Amino acid sequence: MSYQYLEAALLGFVEGLTEFLPVSSTGHLILFVNLLGFEGPPGKVFEVAIQLGAILAVCLVYFARLWRVAVGLKDDPRAWRFVFAILLGFLPAAVLGAALHGFIKTVLFNPTVVCVSLIVGGIAILVVERFLPTPRYHEIERFPASLALKVGLFQSIAMIPGVSRSGATILGALLMGVDRRTAAEFSFFVAIPTMAGAVTYDLYKNWSSMNMDGAVLIGIGFVMAFLSGGLVVKALLDFVGRYGFSPFGWYRIAIGIAMLAFLYL
């Protein structure tokens, strides 16, 4: 059991490290779970639930901004526009996730799908970075409703493991004319309701099969995801400002090919 605790800690660290990078945290978790032979709670609930730790880290890093938005809802139109944009970005994933939850978990949660998605997503990042449109939007509060909804549709593609929720959201925003930093921040904020909803839904579906051992494993993974996620958020914005997203595209292609070779050779 002690080895299982160490594995849960490692998986939590990987989750927090990759949740906000456009490299697919779910894809990395699936690959690591298979490599380690990790046996957590049934229904893949461990892999989903620990993502809430990384989301909590974002809430703390951006606490001042989120607090200003919450207070500004009384009389500040910018606060309302911010919340409206986030909700529209969240809506497609909420609807499609509820409708396709069973199919995604039983059919798509496998290493081959992850590897192919990593490679295809990496190529997409390189192409978008090569032909990046001139940025026209530099504040979430200025997003038109149609733009937020379209970016939300891009995010919903990430229900395919390996695509990357943050990666799909960021690429969608870049294609719509959002600058890199704002695109990354929008992916952070829209993750809050998206992942909170996913975790709540998964726990509800699998509550009857949960036990104390499973809860302890989730708790360990949650804490590690929180700690590593907090380190990544600000560092990502600085990295993207200096190098763009292309390094993540090359990384995705390399890790996808390497894992395919490992799995089948």
Task: Give 44-101 pLDDT, tens digit per residue.
Answer: 778 878 888 998 999 999 999 999 999 999 889 999 999 999 999 999 988 887 777 6
In 3D, which of 189, 236, 208, 174 has the Cα closest to residue 68?
189
Question: Locate tokens 């799908």: which residue?
Answer: 113
Contacts (Cβ under 8 Å, ≥6 apart) of 263? 111, 112, 115
In 3D, which of 73, 79, 26, 77 has the Cα closest to residue 49?
26
The helix/strand/coil state of 137 is strand
Q: Are 250 and 115 in contact (CB under 8 A)?
A: no
Chain mean pLDDT for the chain: 88
Q: Are 75 and 134 in contact (CB under 8 A)?
A: no
- This prediction has a pTM of 0.86
Question: Is pLDDT at 132 greater than 90 in this prediction?
Answer: no
Question: Is pLDDT at 43 greater than 80 in this prediction?
Answer: no
**Dist CA 244 CA 181 (whole Å):** 10
Q: Are 27 and 161 in contact (CB under 8 A)?
A: yes
Domains of the chain by residue range: 2-264
pLDDT digits (tens, 9 = 90+) for 172-198: 999 999 999 999 999 999 989 888 887
